Amino acid sequence: MANDSNTSKSGRIGVAVVVAFIIGIIFWGAFNTAMEATNTEEFCISCHEMKNNVFVEYKDTIHYNNRTGVRATCPDCHVPKQWVHKIVRKIQASNELYHKFMGTIDTKAKFEAKRPVLAQHVWAAMKKTDSRECRNCHDYGSMDYTKQGHRGMEAHQKGFDEGKTCIDCHKGIAHRLPDMHGIDPGVVVGPGTAQR
């Protein structure tokens, strides 16, 4: 009798483990599906704040339309590829969703008023990560200076020698720069990184 009870108990534990495993797979699949669905340009511009403001500007840049047909989309520049960094960024994005629902930037005027602060947050994040998302596509070691203009060639070599990162010089590469009148450029992304 005690043996039947032990068999029954271990059978229930086995079933529980299998069920938990299946539920885990379903949860993980749903989680990854949601992560990928929120990691598309279509998702990013699904709210009018992005579609009517920064996306319009981005469409006029080399990151959107260029001679090679390579396009960097919103998540390419704003969401890390590595899983841990991606999760951190997605958690940070929950603040953006909060402000979406609060209507913080739901009009062009509100967006433009908030643009300097929003830009500074992005620039500081990019500076902190050594422009990690830029490096997903751009590699210093693969740059052929002879195919760059004279100004770019000199600036890249000098910037690399000084330990600069992409965002130190390339603010406004995919979006219009905010009105920075009255804002000390040294505080934008830290000392020694003022825009030139």
Residues 6+ apart with CB under 8 A from 87: none
169 within 8 A of 127, measured Cβ to Cβ: no
- With pLDDT > 90 as the criterion, what percentage of the chain qualifies? 49
Q: How far apart are CA 148 and CA 168, in angstroms?
A: 19
Task: Phi first, then psi: give them for residue 191, nearest 5 degrees.
Answer: -65, 145
> Once rounded to an integer, what is the mean pLDDT over residues 148-161?
90
Q: How far apart are CA 158 and CA 125, in angstroms?
A: 23
Q: How far apart are CA 128 and CA 142, in angstroms?
A: 23
pLDDT tens digits, residue range 54-88?
999 999 999 999 888 889 999 999 999 999 999 99
> Once rounded to an integer, what is the mean pLDDT over residues 144-163?
90
> Once rounded to an integer, what is the mean pLDDT over residues 30-45?
92
pLDDT (0 to 100) of residue 183: 66
Query: Could you tell me the pLDDT band of residue 142, with boundaries at 50, 70 and 90?
Result: confident
Q: Where are the domains of the chain?
A: 38-189
pLDDT (0 to 100) of residue 41: 93
With a cut of 70, say whether residue 105 has pLDDT above it.
Answer: yes
pLDDT (0 to 100) of residue 5: 65
